[in-house]
């Protein structure tokens, strides 16, 4: 692989769209060529920064306005007559979150496949939204329910209880490993936290995929993946990434 080849496939590499073989070729070239590595680092950092810079949340009054418009639609009112309210400009966007770009690391191809597998499995399980085995807002009763059912201690993550309401849990599995799925509601939006043996996690990761935000991390001897409907900023504040 030469520089032009790398240049042509750099986007697909950074976006995780390359097959394992191609990814290994790209990594071999990046390891050997400092100019291409500089370019890749810049593009990777740009991706991360864009994500933080562009994300935003809808103002509450917009949410209310949309709900009221939908109710109007339901009542068969002439919905084409949009009632455009005079809207005052919303407050300045919340300050961006500190840069978490972190250092550049060479992605090990096996790790990458494992991370991608975990991300997809977490999203898929989050979307299926299957019934819970135990409904409880008490961490203690959930811990005792799963005692002897999974081969690891079910430690609940420390989430601010005023924001995150625990609903319950169910036995789950991610990539063939046992996991306990904890179901939380954050401002009415679902957050699925999977507790699993930390050895099942190849590395820590924060990634958007298929429109969902996914986090993979270790805390206090437990492994976690989180899949959620909420935006990245809110999720990062919740988990104190």
Partner 1 sequence: MALSNRQRFEDEVLPHLDALYGLALRLCRDRQEAEDLLQDALVKAFRFFDHFESGSNVKAWLFRVLTNVFYNAYRKAKNIERLEQTAETEGHHHRFLATASTGGMNGEDALLGHITNEKLREVVDTLPEDYRVVVILCDVYGFSYREIADIIDRPVGTVMSRLHRARRILQKLLLRYGIERGLVEAPEEATEQEGRVAEIVPLHSGHEDRKKGQSQ
Interface with partner 1 by CB under 8 A: which residues? 7, 11-12, 15, 17, 34-39, 41-43, 45-47, 49-58, 62-63, 65-67, 69-71, 73-74, 79, 82, 84, 87, 89-90, 93, 96, 99, 101, 127, 188-190, 207-213, 229-231
Longest Cα–Cα distance in the chain: 65
Instruction: Give the distance from CA 38 to its chain's centroid.
Output: 27
Looking at the Cβ atoms of 125 and 213, the one nearer to partner 1 is 213
Closest approach of partner 1 to the CB of residue 129, in Å? 10
Specify the 3-state DSSP secondary structure of 168: strand
Looking at the Cβ atoms of 58 and 153, the one nearer to partner 1 is 58
Closest approach of partner 1 to the CB of residue 150, in Å? 28
**What are the start-end ranges of the H helices in the chain?**
3-14, 20-32, 34-54, 60-74, 109-128, 139-146, 232-239
Looking at the Cβ atoms of 28 and 73, the one nearer to partner 1 is 73
Looking at the Cβ atoms of 94 and 153, the one nearer to partner 1 is 94
CB 152 within 8 A of CB 196: yes
Q: Which residues pair with 209 in a beta bridge?
A: 212
Looking at the Cβ atoms of 21 and 89, the one nearer to partner 1 is 89
Closest approach of partner 1 to the CB of residue 102, in Å? 12
Closest approach of partner 1 to the CB of residue 47, in Å? 5
CB atoms < 10 A from the CB of 179, how many?
Answer: 27
Q: How far apart are CA 143 and CA 165, in angstroms?
A: 16
Q: Roughly how many angstroms between the first and final C-alpha of the chain, as a whole number? A: 37
Closest approach of partner 1 to the CB of residue 57, in Å? 4
């Amino acid at each position: 692989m030469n520089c032009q080849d790398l240049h042509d496939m750099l986007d697909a590499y950074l976006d995780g769209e390359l097959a394992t073989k191609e990814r290994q070729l790209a990594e071999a070239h990046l390891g050997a060529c400092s100019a291409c590595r500089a370019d890749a680092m810049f593009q990777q950092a740009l991706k991360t920064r864009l994500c933080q810079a562009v994300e935003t949340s809808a103002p509450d009054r917009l949410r209310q306005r949309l709900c009221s418009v939908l109710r109007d639609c339901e009542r068969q009112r002439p919905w084409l007559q949009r009632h455009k309210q005079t809207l005052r400009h919303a407050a300045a966007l919340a300050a961006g979150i500190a840069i978490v770009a972190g250092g550049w690391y060479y992605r090990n191809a096996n790790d990458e496949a494992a991370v991608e597998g975990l991300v997809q499995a977490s999203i898929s399980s989050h979307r299926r939204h299957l019934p819970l085995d135990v409904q409880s807002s008490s961490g203690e009763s959930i811990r005792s329910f799963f005692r002897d059912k999974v081969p690891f201690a079910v430690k609940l993550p420390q989430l601010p209880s005023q924001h995150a309401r625990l609903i319950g849990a169910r036995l789950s599995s991610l990539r063939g490993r046992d996991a306990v799925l904890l179901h939380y509601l954050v401002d009415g939006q679902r957050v699925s936290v999977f507790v699993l043996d930390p050895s099942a996690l190849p590395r820590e990761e924060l990634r958007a995929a298929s429109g969902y935000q996914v986090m993979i991390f270790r805390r206090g001897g437990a492994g976690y993946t989180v899949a959620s409907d909420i935006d990245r900023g809110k999720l990062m504040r919740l988990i104190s990434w």
